[in-house]
Amino acid sequence: MTGRWAKKIRGKLHYFGPWGHKRGGQVVPVDDMAASAQQAVDLYQDQRDDLHAGRTPRVKAGGLTVASLCNELLNAKRMLMDTGEIQIRTFANYRVSCDHVVAAFGRNRLVVDLAADDFNKFRSRLAEGRGPVALGNEIRHVRMVLKYAYDAGLIDRPVRFGPQFKGLSKSVLRRERAKNGKRMFEADELRRILTASDSALKALVLLGINCGFGQSNCSNLPQAAVNLDTGWIDYPRPKTGIERRCPLWPETVEALRESLVSHPEPKDKADVGLCFLTTHGNRLVRTTEDPVSMSNADAVGPPFKRLLRKLGINDKRSFYAIRHTFETIAGESKDQVAVNSIMGHVDNSMAGVYRERISDERLRTVVETVRDWLFAGDV
């Protein structure tokens, strides 16, 4: 017994509000049973046409609560995740943003009642403990959550955020970036990192500087995409699906061969055939979900940071800064089209629409430019 009004429709129970609450393991009726029953009847009358037709009842515009909006959005995004149209990490970002919205405004707050002053206070709350880039990203995610209400026809007019609920200006972001320093490594730093790394981390770092890979790229890299005999990787970037082809240096091939020697058994069948796994057989970077939350695990970033500290190298930079380094140095090849191809960047220009391929020779020139820079100091 759940203490809720219910009716079976098309073979499935549907609930229309509580008539009691649990106390000491027993369900105790509410004080005003007549009012509770009337509310249940009203809700049934409001939803019965959709329910008997097998449709999901739509929340009426005036009654759309923050909690209802978040549930609608997450259900829609989960369907996209289940069909592979968005990644679980993207879904996790939506879920976190929904949690922030509910915490700020309350589950039962009507979406149509939200106004600029609410978002001004919310912005101040979001700014606590976040830098300008993180703040801008979270504001963008929250705006997407609230925008969904109008786009999906759940409310009759768009939510008005006010002029202040937006990310920081480009000039502020530039100043912040200048204050934090460049997000790249110098050649001597990378050589020291490679020398001090174990076989697995060495392979990851070399993939970063040879092919512009971030840790998620490395984590999802299937062995089938790597040909160590010919020294090539053919691997679409998971984030964009853009095709990438990259020639491997001899150093990268050797490091990959060495790291594959002690390859652990995968814990999840979906991870069979990946190039890299943790010692426990998990993906290096993964998002896991339980009934109440989602969590991110990164087996690349923290060990990399610890190595930087051990070597006395400024650890404000992350593993992803290696990708910045590749982009920066590869640009010296003066073939940005080939650099973008290896990086997996989307090219929406007209030339990008018509371009069907880039020669292997141009790709080799790019990676050899970076290799010459990296190992120039070796005797």
pLDDT for 12 equals: 82
Per-residue tokens: 86: 């968005």
The mean pLDDT of 18-31, rounded to a whole number, is 65
C-beta separation of 308 from 314 below 8 A? yes
In the predicted model, what is the mean pLDDT of the chain?
A: 86
pLDDT band at 85 (very low <50, low <70, confident <90, very high): confident
Q: Of the CATH numbers 3.10.20.740, 3.40.630.10, 1.10.443.10, 3.40.190.10, which one belongs to the domain with range 187-374? A: 1.10.443.10
Residue 168 has pLDDT above 60, yes or no: yes
The larger pLDDT score, comparing residue 171 to residue 220, is at 220
pLDDT for 291 equals: 43
Q: What is the CATH number of domain 61-180?
A: 1.10.150.130
Residue 174, number of CB atoms within 10 A of its CB: 10
The per-residue pLDDT for range 342-373, each reduced to its tens digit, is: 998 877 788 877 788 899 999 999 999 999 99
C-beta separation of 190 from 325 below 8 A? yes
User: What's the sign of the alpha-carbon dihedral 255, 261, 262, 264?
Assistant: positive
pLDDT for 292 equals: 47
Residue 32 has pLDDT above 80, yes or no: no
pLDDT for 304 equals: 96
Residue 187 has pLDDT above 60, yes or no: yes
The per-residue pLDDT for range 212-235, each reduced to its tens digit, is: 999 999 999 999 999 999 999 998
pLDDT band at 17 (very low <50, low <70, confident <90, very high): confident
pLDDT band at 21 (very low <50, low <70, confident <90, very high): low
pLDDT for 173 equals: 66
pLDDT band at 270 (very low <50, low <70, confident <90, very high): confident
The mean pLDDT of 288-313, rounded to a whole number, is 81
pLDDT band at 289 (very low <50, low <70, confident <90, very high): low
The larger pLDDT score, comparing residue 11 to residue 275, is at 275
pLDDT for 181 equals: 64
Phi and psi torsions of 335, nearest 5°: -130, 75
pLDDT for 44 equals: 83
pLDDT for 57 equals: 66
The larger pLDDT score, comparing residue 135 to residue 201, is at 201
Residue 25 has pLDDT above 60, yes or no: no
Per-residue tokens: 84: 């592979």
pLDDT for 36 equals: 76
Helix (H) or strand (E) holding 298: strand 294-298
DSSP at 223: G
Domain boundaries in the chain?
A: 4-42, 61-180, 187-374
The larger pLDDT score, comparing residue 287 to residue 282, is at 282
The larger pLDDT score, comparing residue 322 to residue 88, is at 322
Q: Which long-range contacts (C-beta less than 8 Å, at least 24 apart) are formed by 357-362?
A: 358/245, 360/245, 360/247, 362/335, 362/337, 362/338
Q: Which residue has the tokens 């640009």?
A: 331
pLDDT band at 325 (very low <50, low <70, confident <90, very high): very high
Residue 294 has pLDDT above 70, yes or no: no
Residue 60 has pLDDT above 70, yes or no: no
